[in-house]
Structure 1
Amino acid sequence: MNGVVPVSAPTRLRVEQAMAELDYVPNLSARGLRNGRSGVIGLALPDLATPFSAEIAHHVVDVAHELGWSIQIEETGLDPQREQELMTRARSNLIDGLILNPVVLQESAVKVGVSLPPVVLLGEVTQHLADRVYVDSFGAARDLTLALAKPGRRRIAVLGINQGRHSSTAIHRAAGYEAALESLGITPDDELLIRCERWTSESAAQALDEYLESHPLPEALFCFTDSLALGALNALWKRGIRVPDDIAVAGFDDIADGRFAVPPLTTVSFDKRAIASEALRLLMERMGDRHREQRVVEVDYSIVERASSGR
């Protein structure tokens, strides 16, 4: 039943038939007492309401199921206390390990001097304590900005600057945007930095609407996520501003909603299933050896140009 002892096909069939007839379910708690494993991995994301989080969770659950693991999904809500509670569960063997997407390293439960359970981090938070899987936000933001500038656009705005929290993702993407401007010989303009504390479509629409009340329309708009870009498209549509005729718009993450937006959204695309597979691989390796050196895996990205940025 554990699948670790080779048996003949007829024997396996008889055992499986008996299990079905008796409605037998293995006692995972008892099994955990023997092998020290619960069979459950925690996945903690900042905001489960976003399409990006939903797609990442889908792939993690799918890959984990193929490997024989169950996933417990949690929302940290940008609260380091929730991260700490999850790590406590891992240390007490309620979960075997944790895949965590922290937002700000200084506020995260992942700190020097803290005994870490098997944990893998997702995203741009740079540290030397835990294994990590990430996409190069700096390089992707730079390349996307250069793509928006290709037809000769100079006034390129960004939406998603975090004034209060200073998330690692926002910092890396803003730096990539500024690097692209520098390579193009464009002087950075603070008037083209649109602040949006919460990365939701609703917040983006409100932030852009307020910005346009007192600022001229930029030639292009780079939104730090696709969800922000969808909110921006709505705000522009309400004002009768045409995309891409009057302004080009692009996002980041290549969520399914962006592909079916009107017009379809130009974005940074990457393999979310690869992120899930690499995170689970690193986590299982860490379970086997908690003292090995940190490993960092970078997942490739590509710029997908669709109708929202024109030809």
Structure 2
Amino acid sequence: MKSLFFTCLFSISVVLTTSAQDEVISFLASGVEDAQTFTQDYMSPSTDALINGLTSNWYNSGQVKNTLGFEISIIGNASLTTSDQKSFNLNTADYSNISFKNGQSSQMVATVLGENDPDVTMLINGTNGNLEFDLPQGLASEGIDFVPSAFIQASVGLPLHTEVKFRFLPEVNEEDIRSSLYGLGLQHEFTKWIPFLKELPLAISGFVGYTNFKGQANLTDVSPFVINYDDQLLDVEVNSWHVAAIASTKWKTFNFYSSLGFISGDATTALKGTYEFNDASQDIIDLGQFKDPFEVTSSVDSMKALIGAKLKLGFFRINAEYSFQQFNTASLAINFGIK
């Protein structure tokens, strides 16, 4: 799968996986509405999983840092997928101009997280014949059952028992893919204000954080049906929010932490640029030219509970956590800093 390593390393959702781009564009031959309907069902699980992943590993303790104390973290997340998120029912009655080559009117097909085994072939019915193409595969075809995300985070202690956090992924370019990420979070420790709680080996705080991810994939020269234009691309933007109450132990070296909260977010996936079918395709479907054909959206609203553990060895720390949410997420971070 083209650019898969880059996708995992730099926190690009599988919505940008280039193996699917040919087939998504091919759906345009059936009309914009058909292409939009398919893309909504095919792509949404991956952006929903990315929203879930981007809410992970914001914190690793209920304690906030002392004023000007800091921590630098390298964070990696894996949002785990389940069987019901890997497929959807494609019913040709919901489309204007497509049919299954095998003659069925509906069947379960892969989302971007799944796999079609065997391949599923579609026909786009034109006035002078048919166009034929296979539905796109997903991550499961590569033996991958998670959606990755990764970024760098910096945390700084402020006065009044508060800590501010910044997470980011500088804009990076690899072959035909571009991505960037930033986020801002705020944590406040309540136990510092309550005298009898200050003496207990327990810290309680509140947190709110926001993350934004943007990605683009160049679609030029990926479909045999269309003429190449320099502006053809798949554009993705993801926003996520996380609000939580956090509790942790306050031991010297090894600690546990947990939280209960809420996550929400939205994602927009847009097919942008100029699309015009080549002469061979126009003889069959004669659809003319499309400009910025469509965009699809998805959203997430979910409770989130997590458990985690943190080991601190002087300047070096490591923590791992597991979140229970719409897409359960495992996360690991390596941290460097002072309290």
The TM-score with structure 2 as length reference comes to 0.27
By percentage of residues, which structure has more helix? 1
Bigger relative contact order, structure 1 or 2 (CA pairs below 8 A, ≥6 apart): 2
